[in-house]
Amino acid sequence: MLSTDYRMIHKVFNVFYFLARPLVKWFLHRFTNLCELQRICYGCPPGALRTRKVQNSLELSRRPREEIQTRAVGTILQVKKINSKVHVDFPRTFGACAEKIWRYKRLCWLVEQRRSTQYDCNDAGHEAKLISLWKLLMGEDKLKNRVSEQWQDIGFQGDDPKTDFRGMGMLGLDNLVFFSREYNGTARHLLSHSHHPTRGYFFAIVGINLTSMAYHLLTSGAARNHFYNQPRLTMDAFHQFYCYLFFEFDRYWVECKPKSIMDFSWIQKKFDENIRKLLSNNSCCFKMNLAVESI
């Protein structure tokens, strides 16, 4: 009942806001002699909050969105009649926000391209990457055959991992390889956790599930605060985000002391809720904290 009332109040507030917004903007413009974007750039500290407010302002603008995004600084200076000689800091400040917004959207596109690329066992590059995952995690233990029950040792469900990549495509494999290569000691330690007789889990399958979580947090915009606080928005930034999620999920899994793998669903759901709560903070910027507990 309370949640229904809250949604209704929120809906009414949004309607009122959109109706009143032009009048409020006009009043503030007349009072401050600054447009909304200037007030945001001058009034908000650098980081996610400023970039999000700039993005929101652009998305609510009456100008065609594509025109603003492709020629952001020049278009805004012209449309808002901003004298760059007087407001010397505005082009740089606004430009930095516009670049973050564009790079975030490009990152979403790059991630989607990898997710939609299905694993192909006839592609030598795909096969080589899969074998490299085995070597990174298992070291000197040789894989006897390409299709083998040995894959279950690193947490795949069956004898051929290609079937487990269907949902997340090559993105799932890219994430697992990045984590295992860049944080090899940590990844192998987490793999040992996954082999616990009662509190174990399927390492690779959990990894692919976390790829799905990272993908949806990114593309839904829920992870904007974290990424807008990053210095560079590249594929490596997404991989690092994934590594953080994997590391923290393992820590949370150990904390929850599951009775069996059957507890996975509720633990993952609670973990997702916790991460979303952290991501709602304007200063959110996840970093790896390499301290792995043994169980």
Q: What is the pLDDT of residue 99?
A: 86
Q: What is the pLDDT of residue 82?
A: 53
Name residues whose C-beta falls within 8 Å of residue 231's C-beta, 6 or more positions apart in sequence.
Answer: none
Q: Check if the beta carbon of residue 67 is closer than 8 Å to that of residue 73.
A: no
Q: How many CB atoms lie within 10 A of CB 26?
A: 10
Q: Check if the beta carbon of residue 237 is closer than 8 Å to that of residue 285.
A: no
Residue among 275, 270, 145 nearest 220 (CA): 275
What is the secondary structure of 157-184 as a DSSP string?
SSS-GGGGGTTTHHHHHHHHHHHHHHTH
Over its length of 295 residues, how does the chain's per-residue pLDDT go in tens digits? 445 555 655 555 455 545 555 554 544 445 555 667 777 777 788 888 888 988 887 787 655 554 444 445 555 544 454 544 444 466 768 778 888 998 999 999 999 999 999 999 999 999 999 999 999 999 889 999 999 999 999 999 999 999 999 899 999 999 999 999 999 999 999 999 999 988 899 999 999 999 999 999 999 999 999 999 999 999 999 999 999 999 999 999 999 999 888 999 999 999 999 999 999 999 999 987 765 555 5
Question: pTM for the complete prediction?
Answer: 0.82
